[in-house]
Structure 1
Amino acid sequence: MPSSSLLQQILDPAARADPYPLYRELRKTPVHRDESTGIHAVSTYWEIRTLLQDPRISSDARNLAPGARSLLAPEEDATLPPTMIRLDPPEHDRLRRLAMRPFGPPHSPRRVHEMRGELSGVISGLVDALAGHNEADLVDEVAYPFPVAVICKLLGVPREDEPRFRVLVDAIVAGIATGGDTAEQQRTAQRSRMELAEYLAGLVEEHRRDPGEDMLSALVTDEGREGRMSLVELISNAVLLLVAGHETTVNLIANGVLTLLRNPEALERLRTTPSSAIATVEELLRFEPPVQLLPQRTTLADIEIAGTVIPAGAPVWLMLAAGNRDPQRFRDPDRFDPQREDIQHLGFGFGVHSCFGAPLARMEGQLALYEIASRLENLRLVEDPPPYRPSPVLRGPRHLPVAFDRVAEHVPLPEASAAVHG
């Protein structure tokens, strides 16, 4: 590539530990056009929020103008139909409604709430396993296995298959990691996505023959007014739900522990005041969002925003993490403050594509962070910054080595201290 542009610097793995100075530079031009690719990066809060609600912004890559370039490899390929997050209304709305039937309102309004006890047991068991040790990698031993166990239970994926799909998911995520020479990564990601789809297709058939109480069983057997997803739609969206259902929460928990350890007063407040769990997670979603940017958007018409006209068919990136620290929206935005009065973040997006699993992610984050803060005594970092995963989109530590004196007894997070609302 030619000389390193601001977007290319953001994509560089060297920036992963602290991309925020680059986001600060990006916000000087609210709509920044990357000269080498024609990408328009939108980095200020109100402009991002406006575009997330604008029907002239498409999530469907098929609307990209011919010849338009992307610095990131695609998450998907033409071998499967686009998932709901890569479609526009009304197709998006139909698939989202069908996927929501066994997960949340209006048909399953208590689904996430009723999982709370089981989630609490899973996270307490993972922390129990640290007893007798004084060091741990909180990614490998807590932040990763917790949401994986939850999404496996929810979807109906055998937990013992995790080693198999972890390799595939890692390759899929690596396929959207960076710009530059990623041809081999793209091929590997596409092969991995197809292999994961084949694996899930087998599970779908098993659940069709012998349905259970899980989401895959419901999606393959439930017949509502709108019918069911086609088999290929179901498989494609099952891949999405399995990957997105744990990848972002791993980062939420790992980023959360790291941020709390860098802000010991917030860690102590969470430990001693369980009711602060809700605000702590909301501020984390603002301060260190697991999804840093939405890179695959396209204009369906010329759009004027912040004094700049983005032409029809142009690639648009919505820089959520930059918007979450916009000083025009948040006072003292680079300070982690769970007690701030207004935390209307962009961590779950906004509009029709707001995060499908937000209620579950919130509960997982609240339970995990309180469990860690309240039970690992004298918790401290071994390495700061820790090593990061390469993806600029799904950003979080690859490992999080910590030390602690002992593991205290489990004290459940009071139910009123965990929110599941979207």
Structure 2
Amino acid sequence: MTQASLLHRITDYANRANPYPLYEELRKTPVLHEEESGPYLVSSYWDILNLLHDPRISSDAANLAAAGADEAGGQEETGLPPSFIRLDPPEHDRLRRIANRPFGPPHSPHRIDSMRSELAEIVSGLIDGLDGAGQIDLVDQFAYPFPVTVICRLLGVPREDEPRFRSWVDPIVAGLDPDTGDDSAERGRTAREARLQLGMYLAGLVEQRSREPRDDMLSELVSVHGEDRPMTTMEVLSTAVLLLIAGHETTVNLITNGMLTLLRHPEVLDRLRNDPGLAANIVEELLRYEPPVQLVPQRTCIADIELRGVTIPKGSRIWLVLAAGNRDPERFEDPDRFDPDRKDIEHLGFGSGIHSCFGAPLARLEAQIALVELARRLENPRLVEDPPPYRQNAVLRGPRHLDIAIDGVRP
């Protein structure tokens, strides 16, 4: 196999169901550069961790565009500025601090934990709705509606508008796929149009909250006061789009990948059913073993970087393959084994450094509650198809559908 064909195979949908043998091969060349115009792929745990904290690695969309990345462009064409995950300090830090104020510590330290009973109520209602069905699609009937409901309630999106989001979110997420196939230009155009429509919808809510604040995140983003310069209206819209997408998309995959893994390891599913206290460790091991974010392609070197004897020149694109690092035998013992009793699970599932996922506490709690209740209440669950059909996306990897046969639903 040539190095170029290895990069192609990683992004090829044909290998989406099991990319891990490809990641194992990728780690043999920890810094891989396929061709002059292509990205550098980094696949070892320690290298990825260090680069996530390295200020010479830029997330700024302008730098990515300057490096010639197709996946960079188009955000400004929607009229919305890049979200803060596509910026570098100091603007990244200012916007992230403001976005985090209503979401968690230090300003709202109990926000997530106080949602526990509400999350359990949503989960219970969704599982109640599965009763009487001999077969369910876990994605459409549970894993998708649960986090969408949660993030919409947090932001203050009216419940009746929740179903509209899938038509906007799906093409936006598809636009993140680094596969440069024949349809990449069309995917980019569709993603920009969907982002514009979502932004226009949110603009109406932001205007309403400016006049009549409520107890939700949109109201707090609009009215925030403190040491930082307040967000502009466009920054509020860009941040709200990001929160709506990031606030549910990875959690859908985390829950779905989690249930798929548990059904493939029925002994662990039985343990969780009898001991809900295992949920925290199970979710952490899932974030290592089957991370919903497989790789981070949108980074640029803003200075020469020497890594493993390879010089990555300034201006080069760099991909951090998180899922490969999560199974690096230099970091984890027996890395291809799903082990919820693993004592050292310092994974890369939520990234690290200044761009680490600040929604991680909510995603963890959602996944723990969801998997505990699915394990407890679904009677004799079993996979209908293995492997299931996966989403096209190589970045946010998860089943598009997960059909499960059940004998019933326990009270």
Amino acid in the other structure paired with 2:180 = G
1:134 aligns with 2:134: yes
Write the deviation string for residues 180-231 of structure 1: whole angstroms up to 9, x where unpaired: 2211111111111111111111111111111111000111112222242111
Distance 1:113 1:67 in 2: 42
Query: Are the counterparts in 2 of residues 75 and 172 from structure 1 also a CA contact under 8 Å?
Result: no
| Partner Cα separation in structure 1 for residue 199 and residue 69 of structure 2 | 27
Structure 1 CA distance, aligned partners of 2:76 and 2:344?
40
Q: Distance in 1 between matches of 2:72 and 2:93?
A: 26
1:29, distance to aligned residue in structure 2 (A): 0.6
Q: Which moved more, 1:2-11 or 1:40-49?
A: 2-11
Q: Distance in 2 between matches of 1:167 and 1:80?
A: 19
Preserved contact between residue 302 and residue 309 of structure 1 (Cα < 8 Å): yes
Structure 2 counterpart of 1:200: 202
Provide the residue aligned with 2:296 in structure 1.
294
2:18 is aligned with 1:18: yes
**1:272 maps to which of 271, 274, 277:** 274
| Partner deviation per Cα, 1:17-64 (whole Å, 9 max, x = no partner) | 111111111111111112163300100000000000111111013224
Q: Distance in 2 between matches of 1:298 and 1:246?
A: 27
Alignment of 1:5-404 (within 5 A): 5-35=5-35, 37-64=37-64, 66=66, 68-70=68-70, 72=71, 76-78=75-77, 79-177=79-177, 178-181=179-182, 182-404=184-406
Give the unaligned 5+ runs of structure 2: none
Paired residues of 1:139 and 1:250 also in contact (CA < 8 A): yes
**Structure 2 residue aligned with 1:420:** none
**AA matched with 1:176:** L
Q: How many residues align?
A: 407
Q: CA deviation at 1:4?
A: 5.8
Q: Using the aligned pairs only, state the percent identity.
A: 64
Q: Which amino acid aligns with 2:342?
A: R
The answer to whether the Cα contact below 8 Å between 1:271 and 1:370 also exists between their aligned partners in 2 is: yes
1:129 is displaced (CA, Å) by 0.8
The separation in 2 between residues aligned to 1:381 and 1:326, in whole angstroms, is: 29
Q: Which amino acid aligns with 1:59?
A: S
- d(CA) in 1 for partners of 2:3, 2:46: 30
Given that residues 65 and 313 in structure 1 are in contact (C-alpha distance below 8 angstroms), is that contact kept between their aligned partners in structure 2?
no
How many angstroms apart in 1 are the aligned matches of 2:216 and 2:197?
22
Aligned partners of 2:22, 2:73: CA distance in 1, in Å? 23
Secondary structure class of the residue paired with 1:5: helix
Tell me how far apart the structure 1 counterparts of residues 262 and 276 of structure 2 sit (CA, whole Å).
14
Partners in 2 of 1:65 and 1:399 — Cα distance?
Answer: 34
- TM-score, normalised by the number of residues in structure 2: 0.96
**Residue type of the partner of 2:282?**
T
Residue 39 of structure 1 contacts residue 314 of structure 1 at CA under 8 Å; is this kept in 2? Answer: yes
Q: What's the secondary structure of 2:247's corresponding residue?
A: helix
Contact (CA 8 Å) 2:67, 2:315: kept in 1 or not?
Answer: no
C-alpha separation between the residues in 2 aligned to 1:99 and 1:352? 14
Query: Do the aligned partners of residues 366 and 346 (structure 1) sit closer, same or farther apart at CA in structure 2, a change above 3 Å counting?
Result: same
Q: Which amino acid aligns with 2:388?
A: P
Distance 1:64 1:98 in 2: 25
For residue 176 of structure 1, report the CA deviation from its aligned partner: 2.1
- Checking the alignment, whether the CA contact within 8 Å between 1:38 and 1:69 is kept in structure 2 is no
Q: How far apart in 2 are the matches of 1:109 and 1:75?
A: 36
Give the superposition deviation at 1:131: 1.1
The one-letter code sitting in structure 1 at the alignment partner of 2:280 is I
Change (3 A) 1:309 1:3: closer
Offset at residue 162 of structure 1 (A): 2.2
Q: Match for 1:164: what amino acid?
A: R
How does the TM-score come out when normalised to structure 1? 0.94
8 Å CA contact 2:65, 2:73 repeated in 1: no
Aligned CA RMSD, in angstroms, stands at: 1.6
Counterpart residue identity of residue 41, structure 2: A
- Indicate how the Cα distance of structure 1 residues 47 and 75 shifts in structure 2: closer, same or farther if over 3 A, else same: farther
Contact 1:58/1:298 (CA < 8 Å) preserved in 2?
A: yes
Asked if the contact 2:3–2:32 (Cα under 8 Å) also holds between the matched residues in 1, the reply is no
CA separation of 1:313 and 1:97: change in aligned 2, threshold 3 A: same
For the 8 Å contact 1:377–1:408, the answer to whether it is kept is yes
Give the distance between the partners of 1:263 and 1:269, measured in 2 at CA.
10
The one-letter amino acid of 2:300's match is T
Between the aligned partners of 2:306 and 2:396, the Cα distance in structure 1 is 29
| Residue pair 2:377, 2:410 contacting (<8 A) in 1 also | yes
Structure 2 equivalent of residue 418 of structure 1:
none
**C-alpha separation between the residues in 2 aligned to 1:280 and 1:176?**
28
Deviations 1:280-330 (A, max 9, x none): 000000000011111001111111112211111100000000000001111
CA distance in 1, matches of 2:382, 2:303: 51
Change (3 A) 1:21 1:32: same
Answer whether contact 1:222 1:228 (CA < 8 A) is retained: yes
Q: 1:210 & 1:66 partners in 2: Cα distance?
A: 42
